[in-house]
Amino acid sequence: MFTISGQLSLDTAHEALVIGIFEKNKPLDGIAAECDNRLHGQISVLLKEGDISAKNKQISKVHTLKQAGVKRLFFVGLGKEEKLTFDLLREAFGKLFKTIKQAKLTEVAVALDTFTTKNVDALDAAHALAEAYYLATYEFPGYKQKKNEREKHINSITVYTEADQAEIKASVFVGSVYGKATNSARTLVNTPSNLLTAADLADYAVRLAGKYGFEHEILEKEEMEKLGMGALLAVNQGSKNPPKMIVLKYQGKETWENVIGLVGKGVTFDTGGYSLKPRESMIDMKTDMAGAAAVLGAMEIIGELRPEQNVVAVIPATDNMISGEAFKPDDVITSMSGKTIEIRNTDAEGRLILADAITYAKHHGADYLIDVATLTGGVIVALGVHTTGAMTNNEALFEQLLEASAETGEFIWRLPITEKDKERVRSSKIADLNNSPGREGHAIMGGAFLGEFAEDTPWVHLDIAGTSVTSKEHDLGPSGATGVMVRTLATLVERFE
């Protein structure tokens, strides 16, 4: 897909050459000036008249009319040079690749050095380019009957740069891994629940383990019963599909210590149980396993990049259905930790399965915990659909996660957990905990409940209910699943101290 080269010539045959341009009151220089000369000053004229724009994320196409081996020139507006960031550049590349895809081109060259500044070097630009390509051109394959026509896709990108080619190649590889893994998570989340049961999710994890040499464990229902995983088993009671507790272990150090635990909610479909969701709220509940997908996507990156860290991934997987066997409001269940839980709302099921998963992650030696879940509609009310909610019991761990999210452009915002909040989840008169003590501060109640199982282990909870899917197409992908937190979790693991 990607070829790295140091020799850029307009006489080389390419379907398109991509050049970055900044807003400035200076004559064209470098490859842009060479293009201008070949086209007898027409690039300068088009810039002056506004047909080529240097404004941020403006894509302009110019045909060379056989004045060069390159057939087309794509100019990518980057705005003011001092304001360019990695995130803005990645979005600009995303819009570029969407434009090229619509033009049905199969091959393109990129003058990478035209996209660099003091703030964004060639390595950053190479990473942004590769990541943006995979994110922006992603399509869920779907299940429509295929037409005989073969659609054209970009299958060759030549990157020209004066920077060290080995280093650029490495950055392109990392960016590609990040993009591909995010797309893997997107595909899992977009898959209908009848085609992605808990067993299917477990099979996917086993294939991942085989590819990357992870140690793996898939607990069956009988094993969960022996271990006392009453919270996960309760949620599964109404289903004909058995639950799975999925464990992947990656050992990047000589000894199994300082282990990072990644826990992802894997509810493959959520009816709400007897606390039944309204009709409209039940649509797209196939996406209620986006936390599990994020963890599996992060493990794909970890498998490819092999960081010197120890990681255990734990995914409780089930659907939440209704039958004569389903659990009910007023039930009292016993979690793996031994804590009893009064069920006030069967639609607050995610926190139940995560409770046993957090306990099991600690059983496997997790010294740090990050759970990811489409946990509450309340986080959408609080923070909207562009910000992931976060809660924690440990400042140092949260700061590392915050830095990772800033690096990947996946914005998170911390919500508090006070002693009063903890008292509310302990408010049951007949059990240790209440799984749904009221709608006020609903997102915080979910986090506070999970904190009861993290206990003293450093822990961060990420509520991705608002950010796991999008209703609108954007520069870095289509509508549907976003794959949010895949890159943040992987970056945290890579940078963890």
Binding-site residue ranges for Mn(2+): 265, 270, 288, 347, 349
479: which 2 tokens?
């509508």
Binding annotation: 265, 270, 288, 347, 349
**Residue 379 contacts residue 467 (beta carbons within 8 Å):** no
- Spatial separation of the C-alpha atoms in residues 100 and 343, rounded to whole Å: 53
- Spatial separation of the C-alpha atoms in residues 382 and 138, rounded to whole Å: 30
320 dihedral zone (left: phi>0; alpha: psi -120 to 50; beta): beta
**Residue 262 contacts residue 489 (beta carbons within 8 Å):** yes
User: Which residue from 369, 83, 143, 342 is spatially nearest to 234, judged by alpha carbons?
Assistant: 342
- Spatial separation of the C-alpha atoms in residues 401 and 406, rounded to whole Å: 9
Query: Phi and psi for 191 in degrees, rounded to 5?
Result: -75, 130
Task: Find where tokens 């086993």 sit.
Answer: 206
Query: Phi and psi for 307 in degrees, rounded to 5?
Result: -70, 160
Report, as residue numbers or ranges, the catalytic residues: 277, 351
**Residue 268 contacts residue 201 (beta carbons within 8 Å):** yes
The secondary structure of residue 477, as a DSSP letter, is B
- Spatial separation of the C-alpha atoms in residues 132 and 137, rounded to whole Å: 8
| Residues facing 169 on adjacent strands | none
* Distance from chain centroid for Cα 244: 23
- Spatial separation of the C-alpha atoms in residues 28 and 39, rounded to whole Å: 13
**Residue 217 contacts residue 205 (beta carbons within 8 Å):** no
**Residue 295 contacts residue 462 (beta carbons within 8 Å):** no
User: Which residue from 331, 352, 359 is spatially nearest to 343, judged by alpha carbons?
Assistant: 331
215: which 2 tokens?
């140690």
51: which 2 tokens?
């047909």
Query: Phi and psi for 124 in degrees, rounded to 5?
Result: -60, -45
Q: Which H/E stretch holds residue 362?
A: helix 350-363
288: which 2 tokens?
């209620």
- Spatial separation of the C-alpha atoms in residues 272 and 287, rounded to whole Å: 14
